[in-house]
Chains A and B, each alone.
Chain A
Amino acid sequence: QVRLKESGPRLVQPSQTLSVTCTVSGFSVTSYHVSWVRQPPGKGLEWVGAIWKGGSTDYNSALKSRLSISRDTSKNQVFLKMNSLQTDDTGTYYCAKHSGGYFDYWGQGVMVTVSS
């Protein structure tokens, strides 16, 4: 059974760094790509970036300078780090599994609030 679960802090202070973990089961992160998608409260979806099954990464150019996506293959986990957080980075962060040109499984998401 494929599952993805995000975990991380619910509250982050402005200018600090967000660290979110996606723990997957039912598939290997070395066999499928994984993306991060975020959603501000009441708004739409924004693709943040991806880590490909081979380990390379690609980022949304609008966020690239602040982003890092990595993984631990032994734990089947994918990590998102975003620095210099601002209030408009508030939202729900999802990880999603790729399959041939679409996201077939999504995590439940983690709601992150950027506030002092």
Chain B
Amino acid sequence: DIVMTQGALPNPVPSGESASITCQSSKSLLHSNGKTYLNWYLQRPGQSPQLLIYWMSTRASGVSDRFSGSGSGTDFTLKISSVEAEDVGVYYCQQFLEYPYTFGAGTKLELK
């Protein structure tokens, strides 16, 4: 199975500051079709996960442009510019290259 390893945030993050969450995969997620199958989800307290970023850097419909994804085949970053109260929750990276579709352990964002 592909192992996904997420970094921690220096919580709490001051409102208005930027935050970056890292994620590393044990295998390159770059497919031969040119897409990198790395997704980011946010799970707000008491809610289901929601898709933020797919294919490493494509924002999902309705997601604020304060969220951006970047990376290589195995190292990825989710950047949140100007953190707001609604960004609080746990962020998960997920690989979709092959099943089982494994997730990282999650990175919690708390607001100061």
Residues of A that sit less than 8 Å from B by CB: 35, 37, 44-47, 50, 58, 60-62, 94, 100-104, 106-109
On whether A58 and B96 interact (CB within 8 A), knowing A45-B49, A104-B60, the answer reads: no
Instruction: Pick the interface stretch among B9-17, B18-26, B76-84, B98-106.
Output: B98-106
- In the complex formed, the residue of B with least CB distance to A104 is B51
Please tell me if the beta carbons of B105 and A102 are within 8 angstroms of each other in the complex. no
Residues of B that sit less than 8 Å from A by CB: 35, 37, 39, 41, 48-51, 54-55, 60, 92, 94, 96, 99-106
- In the complex formed, the residue of A with least CB distance to B61 is A104
CB-defined A-B contacts under 8 Å, sample of 10? A35-B101, A44-B105, A45-B41, A47-B101, A94-B49, A101-B35, A101-B96, A103-B49, A106-B49, A109-B48
Please tell me if the beta carbons of B104 and A106 are within 8 angstroms of each other in the complex. no
Please tell me if the beta carbons of A106 and B48 are within 8 angstroms of each other in the complex. yes
Please tell me if the beta carbons of A46 and B35 are within 8 angstroms of each other in the complex. no
Q: What chain A residues lie within 8 Å of B92 (beta carbons)?
A: 44-45
Q: What chain A residues lie within 8 Å of B99 (beta carbons)?
A: 47, 50, 58, 60
Please tell me if the beta carbons of B102 and A47 are within 8 angstroms of each other in the complex. yes
Q: What chain A residues lie within 8 Å of B101 (beta carbons)?
A: 35, 47
Q: What chain B residues lie within 8 Å of A103 (beta carbons)?
A: 39, 41, 49, 51, 94
